[in-house]
Chain A
Amino acid sequence: MTSLSESRRRFDGCVALVTGGTSGIGAAAAARFAAEGARVLITGRNDARGAEIASSHDNVHFHHVDVTDRAAIDALVTMIGATFGRLDVVVNSAGVVNARPFASMSTHHWHEMIDTNLTGAFHVSQSALPLLRSTVADGKAPSTSIVNLSSLNGLRVDPGMSAYGSAKAALLALTEGTAIELIESGVRVNCVSPGAIDTPMSSSTAGDKKNAEAFTSAIPAGRYGTADEVAAVILFLASQEAPFIVGANLVIDGGATLPSRHPDLLNMFNMKP
């Protein structure tokens, strides 16, 4: 992990809700929010990992919530309101990814991708909205913020990713639509689109080592990113350092979405990473 030692405390007194906070990018973001002074609630479906992450950080609390379960989300938000009286940040990081060829894709797979990656963010954002708004209206924060996690696949879809990519592209539309509606009440909505990041999710798709090398060679930076590098971006967008940033999508992919990346072309000009 890159050393990103920053001694700032941009989230003192704040409350942050990170869905999918038991793993990968969500867990890294939760750790950073807590290190910068926030009280953090992480949600996920894996109780063992949730308990482990909560116990290794002060001020990180785990709640077993599936983002497709609206009643459970509403109950969690009610609890946050009653306990803390405020909510400053929502990070929609819960997601699932599986590659499936379109021709043989089951309806079940399609729904799984859309329900968790897209509809989950809808449920959590809408459920949390009154509390995000009242935190601003009560003068507790100049603005509150939602950060959605889309993906490189939301911009440029890889083979096998038509369902996942559809959900992630739609999440960009959700970001823009909500950004423009919610800014009036002081809720900023932005999006981060990570490329190849070294997390349990990416190793599930990259597969064997040879495959991983092929992936790496398509990244101009010549390596995978770390979950912590994405977390740093999430915190910046959620912080009061970004008050004029509304509806933005920040791609963190080591340059992978840039055009003209064919390896043969790079060889021709002696430009291998």
Chain B
Amino acid sequence: MTSFSGLTVIVTGAAGAMGEQEARMFAERGANVVLTDVRTDEGTDIADDIGKSAVFVPHDVSSESGWNTVIETALSAFGSVNVLVNNAAISKAIKLIDTDVDTFDLFYRINQLGVYLGMKSVVEPMKAAGGGSIINISSVAGLRGASTLFAYSASKWAVRGMTQSAALELARFKIRVNAVFPGVIDTPMNAPNPPGMNDVLVKTTPLRRMGESHEVAEAVLFLASPGASFATGAELAVDGGMSI
């Protein structure tokens, strides 16, 4: 088993389905994990359940000062920052014509600004550690247009672009930056979709099923592992073939 022993991993949105899975799997493979989310009760429970190798930090990814707290907590609890998974995001099916400026701005702040602040915050600690690995969670909606996810899709394309630019800029510090593009994954994020929408999404997935959170998490862990040591700026779709 790939060992992350001795490494510290920050996972944002770790009270959510995929984030929780990622935090647990990193911890199972030896890492110390810093879980962050706006959902304090759920996040605290998950960190408690993982045990001594986990801490939870209440954190809104769009807050710059919040990121300072996350980094300080990681350093004081575990001494380093080696991996960042920018997983937190919001999603909602809204068309362009129904998207108002406040809604668009909210998607921008959480899904885009949050990822930028996360990457910026870890540069110094990762440099101090001699390198690191950042994994940004985009979406199939960041590879293709999405007719009913206008603001979400815009923010996820931004994640894709920021991943490429950051990969170029940070390579010289041995910080690898890669992105994962989940397809339709069976998590609470898809629960509020309008009736019938999930069936249609499954029909447009060649594998004819939703993915599981752990299937995305395996890809995230792989990109963080030594096996991916020459991967930077790479884009990995975990989507049952949906983006073909």
Contact status B240-A244, CB under 8 Å: yes
A124 to B172, CA, bound (A): 40
Interface SS, A side: loop
Contact status B172-A273, CB under 8 Å: yes
Binds A, one of B65-73, B115-123, B231-239: B231-239
Contact status B206-A253, CB under 8 Å: no
Across the interface, which residues of B come within 8 angstroms of A273, CB to CB?
171-172
A244 and B244 in contact, given A6-B2, A250-B234 (Cβ under 8 angstroms): no
Contact status A220-B172, CB under 8 Å: yes
Contact of A230 among B1, B171, B174, B230 (CB under 8 A): B230
Binds B, one of A84-92, A101-109, A175-183: A175-183
A179 to B205, CA, bound (A): 12
Report B169-185 CB contacts with A as 1/0, cut-off 8 Å.
10110101000000100
Report A223-261 CB contacts with B as 1/0, cut-off 8 Å.
001100110110110000111111110111111011111
Binds A, one of B30-38, B103-111, B213-221: B213-221
Contact status A229-B232, CB under 8 Å: no
For the side of the interface on B, what is the size category? 35 or more
User: For window 1-47 of chain B, which residues contact chain A by CB distance below 8 Å?
Assistant: 1-2
Contact status B2-A8, CB under 8 Å: yes
Report B156-167 CB contacts with A as 1/0, cut-off 8 Å.
000000001001
* Count, A-B residue pairs, CB within 8 A: 131
Contact status A245-B237, CB under 8 Å: yes
A250 and B206 in contact, given A245-B219, A255-B167, A272-B172 (Cβ under 8 angstroms): no
Across the interface, which residues of B come within 8 angstroms of A179, CB to CB?
206, 241, 244
A17 to B230, CA, bound (A): 24
Contact status A246-B227, CB under 8 Å: no
Distance in Å: Cβ of B144 to nearest Cβ of chain A? 13
Contact of A241 among B172, B207, B218, B236 (CB under 8 A): B218
Across the interface, which residues of B come within 8 angstroms of A226, CB to CB?
230
A195 to B231, CA, bound (A): 10
Task: With CB as the reference atom, state the residue of chain B lying closest to A251.
Answer: B234
Contact status A232-B228, CB under 8 Å: yes
Contact status A221-B2, CB under 8 Å: no
Contact status B168-A221, CB under 8 Å: no
A180 to B1, CA, bound (A): 31
Contact of B239 among A6, A184, A233, A246 (CB under 8 A): A246
The answer, yes or no, to whether B229 is at the interface (CB within 8 Å) is yes
Contact status A252-B234, CB under 8 Å: yes
Across the interface, which residues of A come within 8 angstroms of B241, CB to CB?
179-180, 183, 246-247
Task: With CB as the reference atom, state the residue of chain A lying closest to B177.
Answer: A255
A225 to B183, CA, bound (A): 29
Contact status A220-B232, CB under 8 Å: yes
Contact of B212 among A2, A244, A261, A272 (CB under 8 A): A244
A133 to B207, CA, bound (A): 15
Distance in Å: Cβ of B127 to nearest Cβ of chain A? 14
Enumerate chain A interface residues (CB-CB to B < 8 A).
Answer: 2-4, 6-8, 176, 179-180, 183-184, 195, 197, 220-222, 225-226, 229-230, 232-233, 235-236, 241-248, 250-255, 257-261, 271-273
Beyond A183-B206, A183-B207, A258-B164, 14 additional contacts (C-beta under 8 Å) are A7-B1, A183-B241, A220-B232, A221-B230, A222-B171, A222-B172, A225-B229, A232-B225, A236-B222, A236-B227, A241-B218, A247-B243, A252-B228, A258-B168
24 residue pairs bridging A and B, Cβ less than 8 Å apart: A4-B227, A6-B2, A8-B1, A183-B206, A183-B241, A220-B168, A220-B171, A221-B171, A225-B229, A229-B228, A230-B230, A233-B227, A236-B222, A241-B222, A242-B218, A243-B215, A244-B240, A245-B215, A245-B236, A246-B240, A248-B237, A254-B230, A259-B164, A271-B172
